Structure 1
Amino acid sequence: MFRNDGGNQNSWLQVVPRGSATNHFGLGVRVYAQADPNSPEQLREIVAGGFMGNSEPMAHFGFGPGVERIDTVRVVFPTSGVEHVYHNVPARRRLTIYEQACDGDIDGDRAVTFDDLSTLLIHFDAEGVSRFEGDLNDDERVDLTDLAIMLANFSAVCE
């Protein structure tokens, strides 16, 4: 038996797609990830398993050591054709991506709450950040525009 006491410094990203009511687990969703513009694009497709066996409906990407941010993550939902593209995504985390976007919902709980506002304020005035850190208009900055989007949707519950 072997035991790993050293840990692992490799970067990774897990993406959990959530489809509409008819495809909750996002079967057929294609998730693309590219660590940097010069690296190859990786693809994972969420598929159903066979009799008495199935994998978790999640895309797992490994990027090796030294990757702190993923340049591009693209999620394509097959039935609706909805495509979400995220840039500058922090590595070493698990993201839940919903087919229908919910403006202002940073933590993925389908509601715009104080937790989302807190995350936005922690990263306020930061540059080089992603949607998962409060950049709601994808300009890689958390600023007053992002705060306005958040406040316009505050206390909304998304379908």
Structure 2
Amino acid sequence: MPEQQVLLGIEAGIAALFQSGRSALRDYSRLFHPELQPTGFTILRMIFACDPAQAGTVIQQTGLDKSAVSRQIKVLRDLGLIETRRDPHDGRSSFLVPTPLAEQRMEALKQRMKRDYRDRLAGWTNDDLIAFSTLLERFNSSDPAA
């Protein structure tokens, strides 16, 4: 198969993967909380990943606009999913942390995600899964913008 055709096939596959990911993000956001938008869920996942997280870190890591992050942080607070804690080493700074409610819901959602991926990949061999994971990691780490 000619290289150009292979590259176009890769692009089409990545576009389909992106669309599938967006759909999953919408679904998982709704499952997490019916009023949570995908952007808010993305921010919440970043807060979980950094726990605790500063707003500036969330902005930097997600690439979202500062005002969009601020709005979503307010929504997350209003929904009882995050709280703000003062930095014990610097009283001028604060951290965003998930609430116990958010931790409980995230654990339940992680179990759902595992089931979903287990179902989707049921016919794959262990070698297939390892190769897929390795290639995804390699592809994502090759992004010069990352």
Is TM (by shorter chain) over 0.5? Answer: no
What's the TM-score bracket when you normalise by the shorter of the two chains?
Answer: under 0.3
Structure of higher RCO (CA pairs closer than 8 Å, 6+ residues apart)? 1
Which structure has the highest strand share of the two? Answer: 1
Q: Which has the higher helix share?
A: 2
